[in-house]
Amino acid sequence: GAGVSQSPSNKVTEKGKDVELRCDPISGHTALYWYRQSLGQGLEFLIYFQGNSAPDKSGLPSDRFSAERTGGSVSTLTIQRTQQEDSAVYLCASSLLRAEQFFGPGTRLTVL
Amino acid sequence: AQSVAQPEDQVNVAEGNPLTVKCTYSVSGNPYLFWYVQYPNRGLQFLLKYITGDNLVKGSYGFEAEFNKSQTSFHLKKPSALVSDSALYFCAVRDREGTYKYIFGTGTRLKVLA
């Protein structure tokens, strides 16, 4: 079956521009997570969605970051007015309740 | 608050020797524990998990991990390392009574030398 997909795989943008990153989770997975992985670093939690509950946004680093999940499926992470420190690999994962996460291949964001 | 510690940035082991990648955790309740592996230029792959039951859990590629509640540890082990095991390994924890948020360790780079 299809795994978690993310698009684009690579995104190069100029400082100050807005970007949108997309995640398509595994069908039927109720939980969806966004993480950020900087070069050589661990995973930094950003946000998660669980069913129809309010998302946990506690990991978003600033108000320039936002995310939505439409219809309990596809999610979009938006970064407004990008900064060079936003450069990283953004990973999406989905899971069933209390189960392991399945990760997408990530979007590599480069802010020039 | 939940936390995970992977005290070693890198572990080197000779091929054929046993390997251990360490992980300790802190949660307010009982944990769900996970190990993931990240090969170069690839996404994270699930290796194994502890949810309940037997403290020794077996996972993919011959890996296993032992849940030790008294030491709050969940070390990853393999009896005989392969060069192809060289990768970045992440431990993760979730408080089963708490939120659905997973906390990941900083990762341990395993290098298996031929």
Where do the structural domains in chain B lie, given as residue ranges? 3-113
Residue B42, amino acid: R
Give the number of domains in chain A. Answer: 1
CATH number for the domain that contains residue A79: 2.60.40.10
pLDDT at B102: 87
Q: Please report whether residue A12 resides in a domain.
A: yes
**From CA A67, how far away is CA A92, in angstroms rounded?**
12
What dotted CATH number matches B3-113? 2.60.40.10
**From CA B113, how far away is CA B13, in angstroms rounded?**
6
Region B67-72: what's the mean pLDDT? 93
Residue showing tokens 């802190």: B26
Among chain B residues, the shortest Cα distance to A36 is held by B104
**From CA A108, how far away is CA A62, in angstroms rounded?**
19
* List of chain A residues whose C-beta atoms are within 8 Å of the C-beta of residue B105: 42
Region B32-56: what's the mean pLDDT? 90
- Given B32, B43, B105, which is nearest A98 (Cβ)? B32
- A59 has a pLDDT exceeding 60: yes
CB–CB contact B44 A50 (8 Å): no
- A1 has a pLDDT exceeding 60: no
Q: Please report whether residue A104 resides in a domain.
A: no
Interface test with A, best of B102, B106, B108 (most A CBs within 10 A): B102
- B77 has a pLDDT exceeding 90: yes
Q: Please report whether residue A109 resides in a domain.
A: no
Region B4-16: what's the mean pLDDT? 96
Predicted confidence band at B53 (pLDDT cuts at 50, 70, 90)? confident
**From CA A22, how far away is CA A10, in angstroms rounded?**
12
Q: Please report whether residue A100 resides in a domain.
A: no
Chain B contact for A25 (CB, 8 A cutoff): no
Q: Please report whether residue A29 resides in a domain.
A: yes
Domain span at A45: 5-94
* List of chain B residues whose C-beta atoms are within 8 Å of the C-beta of residue A59: 101
- Given B43, B49, B99, which is nearest A104 (Cβ)? B43
